[in-house]
Amino acid sequence: MSGYPSVSVSRFRWSYFRSSPVEAKAVADEDEPKTAYELILERLKQKDKAEGVSERPLTQKQKSEIAEVRKVYDAKLAEREILHQADRDKATDPEALEHLEQDYRRDRERIASDRDRKIEAIRKR
């Protein structure tokens, strides 16, 4: 007993073991049924093609700009959370707490919306 689980090789084609990893994947994909996730992705790609939406890979410059935007907005969110905690610790009135919570949620949504808008603008360039 080698400690490895026994696997029946009969369900695989021998070409799977003799081919390159890319060819082996192609053989395996043909034989295996697709998952629901893969089917949905296929449908979305077909829908995008029908609507004329093309998929463009991001450049390194775009990736670095997006990373920078995320970093800045993550810092803004963290700063806002710290300020919110300080304000919450000072508040004693339940109505004031509710008002603070609403302001905090609104600020988080605004910051996230700004971040997403900037990222989308970078992607479209």
Domains in the chain: boundaries? 9-51, 60-124
For tokens 């060819």, the residue is: 23
Considering only residues 21 and 51, tell me which one the structure prediction assigns the higher pLDDT.
Answer: 51
Q: What is the pLDDT of residue 12?
A: 44
Q: What is the pLDDT of residues 43-97, one digit of tens each?
A: 988 888 888 877 778 899 999 999 999 999 999 999 999 999 999 999 989 999 9
The pLDDT-based confidence of 124 (bands split at 50, 70, 90) is confident
Query: Which contacts qualify for 52-60: CB closer than 8 Å, 24 or more apart?
Result: 58/123
What number of other Cβ atoms are within 10 A of residue 51's Cβ? 8
How far is Cα 119 from Cα 62, in angstroms, rounded to an integer?
A: 9
For tokens 């339940």, the residue is: 94
Backbone angles phi, psi at 24, to 5 degrees: -65, -40
How far is Cα 4 from Cα 15, in angstroms, rounded to an integer?
A: 23
Report the interhelical angle of 94-124 vs 60-90 (nearest 10°).
Answer: 170
The pLDDT-based confidence of 9 (bands split at 50, 70, 90) is very low
The upper half-sphere exposure of residue 25, i.e. CA atoms within 13 Å in the direction of its Cβ, equals 3
Instruction: Give CA angle at 81 (97, 70), nearest 5°.
Output: 145
| pLDDT > 90 in the chain, percent | 57
How far is Cα 69 from Cα 120, in angstroms, rounded to an integer?
A: 11
Does the model's pTM come out above 0.85? Answer: no
